[in-house]
Amino acid sequence: MKALVTGCAGFIASHLTERLLEAGHTVVGVDCFNDNYGRAQKLLNLRQVGDTGSFEFVPIDLARGDLVELTADCDVVFHLAAEPGVRSSWGVRYEKYLQNNVLATQHLLDAVKERDDVRFVYASSSSVYGDAELRPTPEEAPTQPLSPYGQTKLSAEHLCQLYRQNYGNDIAILRYFTVYGPRHRPDMAFHIFCRAALESRPITIFGDGRQSRDFTFVEDVVAATVSAASAPLDELRIYNVGGGTPTSLREALETIGRISGRRLDVHYLDREHGDVKNTAADTTRAREQLGFSPQTSLEDGLLAEFEWLSELVQPPPAV
Protein backbone atom coordinates (compact mmCIF):
# COMPACT_ATOMS: atom_id res chain seq x y z
CA MET A 1 0.00 0.00 0.00
CA LYS A 2 1.12 3.52 -0.72
CA ALA A 3 -0.35 5.98 1.77
CA LEU A 4 -0.49 9.74 1.95
CA VAL A 5 -0.38 10.95 5.56
CA THR A 6 -1.16 14.63 6.06
CA GLY A 7 0.16 16.41 9.12
CA CYS A 8 2.83 13.71 9.35
CA ALA A 9 5.05 15.71 11.73
CA GLY A 10 2.22 16.15 14.20
CA PHE A 11 1.34 14.21 17.33
CA ILE A 12 -0.96 11.45 16.04
CA ALA A 13 0.13 11.41 12.40
CA SER A 14 3.80 10.83 13.25
CA HIS A 15 2.80 7.70 15.18
CA LEU A 16 0.61 6.63 12.26
CA THR A 17 3.48 7.16 9.82
CA GLU A 18 5.76 4.94 11.90
CA ARG A 19 3.12 2.21 12.18
CA LEU A 20 2.59 2.15 8.42
CA LEU A 21 6.31 2.03 7.67
CA GLU A 22 6.83 -0.76 10.22
CA ALA A 23 4.12 -2.74 8.43
CA GLY A 24 6.03 -2.45 5.15
CA HIS A 25 3.95 0.24 3.45
CA THR A 26 5.24 3.23 1.50
CA VAL A 27 4.34 6.63 2.96
CA VAL A 28 4.26 10.11 1.50
CA GLY A 29 4.18 12.51 4.43
CA VAL A 30 2.89 16.06 4.13
CA ASP A 31 3.31 18.87 6.63
CA CYS A 32 3.47 22.66 6.37
CA PHE A 33 4.73 23.21 9.96
CA ASN A 34 2.02 25.68 10.85
CA ASP A 35 2.66 27.84 13.88
CA ASN A 36 0.33 26.25 16.44
CA TYR A 37 3.43 25.00 18.24
CA GLY A 38 7.17 24.85 17.74
CA ARG A 39 8.79 23.41 14.63
CA ALA A 40 11.52 21.79 16.76
CA GLN A 41 9.11 19.37 18.45
CA LYS A 42 7.55 18.45 15.10
CA LEU A 43 10.98 17.69 13.67
CA LEU A 44 11.68 15.49 16.69
CA ASN A 45 8.44 13.65 15.99
CA LEU A 46 9.84 12.64 12.59
CA ARG A 47 13.30 11.60 13.70
CA GLN A 48 12.40 7.89 13.66
CA VAL A 49 11.36 7.97 9.99
CA GLY A 50 13.72 10.54 8.49
CA ASP A 51 16.14 8.01 7.00
CA THR A 52 13.60 5.40 5.95
CA GLY A 53 13.71 4.64 2.22
CA SER A 54 9.97 3.98 2.09
CA PHE A 55 9.18 7.49 3.37
CA GLU A 56 9.03 10.65 1.29
CA PHE A 57 8.45 14.01 2.94
CA VAL A 58 6.67 16.78 1.02
CA PRO A 59 6.56 20.24 2.68
CA ILE A 60 3.34 21.65 1.27
CA ASP A 61 0.37 23.73 2.41
CA LEU A 62 -2.71 21.70 1.48
CA ALA A 63 -4.88 24.82 1.40
CA ARG A 64 -2.92 26.17 -1.55
CA GLY A 65 -2.67 24.72 -5.04
CA ASP A 66 -3.65 21.61 -6.97
CA LEU A 67 -3.11 18.31 -5.12
CA VAL A 68 -3.88 15.90 -7.96
CA GLU A 69 -0.22 15.04 -8.57
CA LEU A 70 0.40 14.58 -4.84
CA THR A 71 -2.38 11.99 -4.53
CA ALA A 72 -2.05 10.43 -7.98
CA ASP A 73 -0.58 7.02 -7.08
CA CYS A 74 -1.73 6.73 -3.45
CA ASP A 75 -4.04 3.92 -2.38
CA VAL A 76 -5.09 5.59 0.87
CA VAL A 77 -5.24 9.20 2.02
CA PHE A 78 -5.01 9.56 5.80
CA HIS A 79 -6.05 13.17 6.38
CA LEU A 80 -4.91 14.13 9.88
CA ALA A 81 -3.54 17.61 9.19
CA ALA A 82 -5.54 20.29 10.99
CA GLU A 83 -5.43 23.49 12.97
CA PRO A 84 -6.00 22.06 16.47
CA GLY A 85 -7.26 23.48 19.73
CA VAL A 86 -10.61 24.57 21.13
CA ARG A 87 -9.64 27.68 23.10
CA SER A 88 -7.40 29.20 20.43
CA SER A 89 -10.11 28.89 17.75
CA TRP A 90 -11.93 31.99 18.98
CA GLY A 91 -11.06 35.39 17.56
CA VAL A 92 -8.21 36.28 15.28
CA ARG A 93 -6.97 32.73 14.56
CA TYR A 94 -10.32 31.58 13.16
CA GLU A 95 -9.16 32.22 9.60
CA LYS A 96 -6.41 29.64 10.12
CA TYR A 97 -9.03 27.11 11.20
CA LEU A 98 -11.03 27.73 8.06
CA GLN A 99 -7.92 27.42 5.92
CA ASN A 100 -6.37 24.35 7.54
CA ASN A 101 -9.49 22.41 8.53
CA VAL A 102 -12.02 23.21 5.83
CA LEU A 103 -10.25 24.48 2.72
CA ALA A 104 -7.41 21.94 2.95
CA THR A 105 -9.94 19.11 3.23
CA GLN A 106 -11.85 20.38 0.21
CA HIS A 107 -8.66 20.51 -1.86
CA LEU A 108 -7.75 16.94 -0.95
CA LEU A 109 -11.23 15.64 -1.68
CA ASP A 110 -11.26 17.47 -4.99
CA ALA A 111 -7.93 15.88 -5.93
CA VAL A 112 -9.36 12.34 -5.59
CA LYS A 113 -12.97 12.95 -6.60
CA GLU A 114 -12.65 11.09 -9.91
CA ARG A 115 -10.94 8.06 -8.39
CA ASP A 116 -12.75 4.96 -7.21
CA ASP A 117 -9.54 3.18 -6.17
CA VAL A 118 -8.52 5.31 -3.20
CA ARG A 119 -9.77 5.19 0.40
CA PHE A 120 -10.06 8.58 2.13
CA VAL A 121 -9.75 8.38 5.94
CA TYR A 122 -10.61 11.65 7.66
CA ALA A 123 -9.60 12.33 11.27
CA SER A 124 -12.41 14.26 12.94
CA SER A 125 -13.05 15.03 16.60
CA SER A 126 -15.48 14.41 19.44
CA SER A 127 -15.75 18.22 19.53
CA VAL A 128 -18.42 17.94 16.82
CA TYR A 129 -20.86 16.64 19.49
CA GLY A 130 -20.48 19.58 21.88
CA ASP A 131 -22.12 18.84 25.23
CA ALA A 132 -23.83 15.63 24.16
CA GLU A 133 -26.93 14.79 26.17
CA LEU A 134 -26.53 11.04 25.62
CA ARG A 135 -23.41 9.33 27.01
CA PRO A 136 -21.85 7.12 25.85
CA THR A 137 -22.49 9.08 22.67
CA PRO A 138 -23.30 7.15 19.47
CA GLU A 139 -22.39 8.38 16.01
CA GLU A 140 -26.05 9.18 15.28
CA ALA A 141 -26.23 11.72 18.14
CA PRO A 142 -26.90 15.36 17.19
CA THR A 143 -23.79 17.35 16.29
CA GLN A 144 -23.78 20.68 18.12
CA PRO A 145 -20.20 22.02 18.41
CA LEU A 146 -19.47 24.48 21.21
CA SER A 147 -16.34 25.97 19.61
CA PRO A 148 -15.20 27.33 16.24
CA TYR A 149 -12.73 24.43 16.15
CA GLY A 150 -15.54 21.89 16.45
CA GLN A 151 -17.54 23.76 13.82
CA THR A 152 -14.69 23.57 11.29
CA LYS A 153 -14.17 19.85 11.93
CA LEU A 154 -17.87 19.27 11.37
CA SER A 155 -17.76 21.37 8.19
CA ALA A 156 -14.99 19.10 6.89
CA GLU A 157 -17.15 16.07 7.70
CA HIS A 158 -19.96 17.64 5.66
CA LEU A 159 -17.55 18.05 2.75
CA CYS A 160 -16.72 14.35 2.98
CA GLN A 161 -20.41 13.54 2.83
CA LEU A 162 -20.93 15.84 -0.17
CA TYR A 163 -18.14 14.19 -2.15
CA ARG A 164 -19.45 10.75 -1.27
CA GLN A 165 -22.95 11.69 -2.44
CA ASN A 166 -21.85 13.40 -5.65
CA TYR A 167 -18.80 11.37 -6.71
CA GLY A 168 -19.17 8.11 -4.80
CA ASN A 169 -15.81 8.47 -3.06
CA ASP A 170 -14.72 5.76 -0.62
CA ILE A 171 -14.61 7.59 2.74
CA ALA A 172 -14.33 6.74 6.43
CA ILE A 173 -14.53 9.37 9.19
CA LEU A 174 -13.02 8.79 12.63
CA ARG A 175 -14.09 10.94 15.56
CA TYR A 176 -11.17 10.90 18.00
CA PHE A 177 -11.88 11.38 21.72
CA THR A 178 -9.17 13.29 23.67
CA VAL A 179 -6.02 11.59 22.43
CA TYR A 180 -2.90 11.62 24.61
CA GLY A 181 0.51 9.97 24.83
CA PRO A 182 4.15 10.54 23.82
CA ARG A 183 4.62 13.54 21.46
CA HIS A 184 1.51 15.18 22.89
CA ARG A 185 1.07 18.78 21.74
CA PRO A 186 2.38 21.28 24.31
CA ASP A 187 -1.01 23.02 24.57
CA MET A 188 -2.81 19.83 25.64
CA ALA A 189 -3.79 19.17 29.25
CA PHE A 190 -1.73 16.07 30.01
CA HIS A 191 1.40 17.57 28.45
CA ILE A 192 0.92 20.69 30.58
CA PHE A 193 0.22 18.67 33.75
CA CYS A 194 3.16 16.28 33.32
CA ARG A 195 5.56 19.12 32.51
CA ALA A 196 4.36 21.07 35.54
CA ALA A 197 4.98 18.03 37.73
CA LEU A 198 8.48 17.63 36.32
CA GLU A 199 9.29 21.33 36.76
CA SER A 200 7.53 21.74 40.13
CA ARG A 201 5.23 24.43 38.78
CA PRO A 202 1.56 25.08 39.64
CA ILE A 203 -1.24 23.69 37.47
CA THR A 204 -4.28 25.71 36.39
CA ILE A 205 -7.58 23.94 35.71
CA PHE A 206 -10.41 25.75 33.94
CA GLY A 207 -13.49 24.43 35.71
CA ASP A 208 -13.87 22.46 38.94
CA GLY A 209 -11.86 19.47 37.71
CA ARG A 210 -14.89 17.19 37.79
CA GLN A 211 -15.34 17.44 34.04
CA SER A 212 -14.57 14.08 32.44
CA ARG A 213 -13.06 12.98 29.16
CA ASP A 214 -12.90 9.69 27.31
CA PHE A 215 -9.09 9.76 27.17
CA THR A 216 -7.64 7.63 24.36
CA PHE A 217 -4.03 6.51 24.07
CA VAL A 218 -2.39 7.45 20.79
CA GLU A 219 -1.37 3.91 19.79
CA ASP A 220 -4.99 2.75 20.19
CA VAL A 221 -6.11 5.60 17.95
CA VAL A 222 -3.50 4.63 15.36
CA ALA A 223 -4.70 1.02 15.36
CA ALA A 224 -8.26 2.14 14.59
CA THR A 225 -7.03 4.52 11.89
CA VAL A 226 -5.04 1.82 10.12
CA SER A 227 -8.02 -0.55 10.28
CA ALA A 228 -10.22 2.10 8.68
CA ALA A 229 -8.03 1.97 5.57
CA SER A 230 -9.12 -1.58 4.71
CA ALA A 231 -12.48 -2.10 6.42
CA PRO A 232 -15.26 -3.05 3.98
CA LEU A 233 -17.45 0.00 3.31
CA ASP A 234 -20.68 0.10 1.34
CA GLU A 235 -21.34 3.72 2.33
CA LEU A 236 -19.61 6.58 4.12
CA ARG A 237 -19.02 5.43 7.69
CA ILE A 238 -18.39 7.46 10.84
CA TYR A 239 -16.62 5.80 13.78
CA ASN A 240 -16.14 6.96 17.35
CA VAL A 241 -12.66 6.19 18.67
CA GLY A 242 -12.54 6.47 22.46
CA GLY A 243 -10.58 4.87 25.28
CA GLY A 244 -13.65 3.43 26.97
CA THR A 245 -13.11 4.68 30.52
CA PRO A 246 -14.17 8.33 30.95
CA THR A 247 -12.18 9.91 33.77
CA SER A 248 -12.39 13.26 35.55
CA LEU A 249 -9.49 15.68 35.46
CA ARG A 250 -9.17 15.36 39.24
CA GLU A 251 -8.70 11.60 38.92
CA ALA A 252 -6.18 12.07 36.10
CA LEU A 253 -4.22 14.55 38.24
CA GLU A 254 -4.14 12.06 41.09
CA THR A 255 -2.65 9.51 38.67
CA ILE A 256 0.02 11.96 37.49
CA GLY A 257 0.83 12.73 41.11
CA ARG A 258 1.39 9.02 41.81
CA ILE A 259 3.52 8.59 38.69
CA SER A 260 5.65 11.65 39.40
CA GLY A 261 5.91 11.01 43.13
CA ARG A 262 5.14 14.67 43.75
CA ARG A 263 2.36 16.66 45.36
CA LEU A 264 0.75 18.75 42.61
CA ASP A 265 -0.13 22.40 43.21
CA VAL A 266 -3.52 22.74 41.48
CA HIS A 267 -5.53 25.95 41.06
CA TYR A 268 -9.09 26.09 39.71
CA LEU A 269 -10.50 28.90 37.57
CA ASP A 270 -13.78 29.46 35.74
CA ARG A 271 -14.61 27.17 32.85
CA GLU A 272 -13.67 28.66 29.47
CA HIS A 273 -15.89 29.16 26.43
CA GLY A 274 -16.03 26.11 24.16
CA ASP A 275 -15.01 23.59 26.84
CA VAL A 276 -17.52 20.74 27.08
CA LYS A 277 -18.42 19.26 30.44
CA ASN A 278 -18.14 15.54 29.74
CA THR A 279 -17.39 13.17 26.85
CA ALA A 280 -17.85 9.43 26.48
CA ALA A 281 -17.74 7.46 23.23
CA ASP A 282 -20.04 4.65 22.19
CA THR A 283 -17.52 2.60 20.22
CA THR A 284 -19.79 -0.29 19.29
CA ARG A 285 -19.48 0.36 15.56
CA ALA A 286 -15.69 0.66 15.69
CA ARG A 287 -15.45 -2.56 17.69
CA GLU A 288 -17.68 -4.48 15.29
CA GLN A 289 -16.39 -3.11 11.97
CA LEU A 290 -12.79 -2.08 12.69
CA GLY A 291 -11.92 -4.60 15.38
CA PHE A 292 -11.17 -1.65 17.66
CA SER A 293 -10.22 -2.65 21.19
CA PRO A 294 -8.30 -0.14 23.34
CA GLN A 295 -5.29 -1.86 24.88
CA THR A 296 -3.80 0.86 27.09
CA SER A 297 -5.06 1.85 30.53
CA LEU A 298 -5.00 5.51 31.51
CA GLU A 299 -2.28 4.89 34.11
CA ASP A 300 -0.05 3.05 31.63
CA GLY A 301 -0.65 5.70 28.97
CA LEU A 302 0.12 8.56 31.34
CA LEU A 303 3.28 6.78 32.45
CA ALA A 304 4.38 6.54 28.80
CA GLU A 305 3.73 10.26 28.29
CA PHE A 306 5.46 11.21 31.55
CA GLU A 307 8.56 9.17 30.67
CA TRP A 308 8.67 10.72 27.18
CA LEU A 309 8.51 14.23 28.65
CA SER A 310 11.08 13.34 31.30
CA GLU A 311 13.63 12.84 28.53
CA LEU A 312 12.90 16.31 27.13
CA VAL A 313 12.54 18.39 30.30
CA GLN A 314 15.46 19.29 32.53
CA PRO A 315 14.41 18.97 36.19
CA PRO A 316 14.73 22.10 38.34
CA PRO A 317 17.95 22.36 40.36
CA ALA A 318 17.82 20.97 43.88
CA VAL A 319 17.35 23.57 46.58
Which residues have a catalytic role annotated? 149
Contacts with 237 (C-beta within 8 Å, 6 or more apart), sequence order: 171, 172, 173, 231, 285, 289
d(CA 113, CA 61): 19
Tell me which DSSP letter residue 47 carries: T
Yes or no: say if 243 and 180 are a contact pair by the CB < 8 Å rule: no
Question: Please, what's the b/e burial string for 57-76 (b: 16 or more CB within 10 A of its CB; e: otherwise)?
Answer: beeebbbeeebeebbeebeb
Yes or no: say if 104 and 63 are a contact pair by the CB < 8 Å rule: yes
d(CA 270, CA 246): 22
- Residue 126: which of 276, 12, 16 has the closest Cα? 276
The H or E element that residue 212 is part of is: strand 212-213
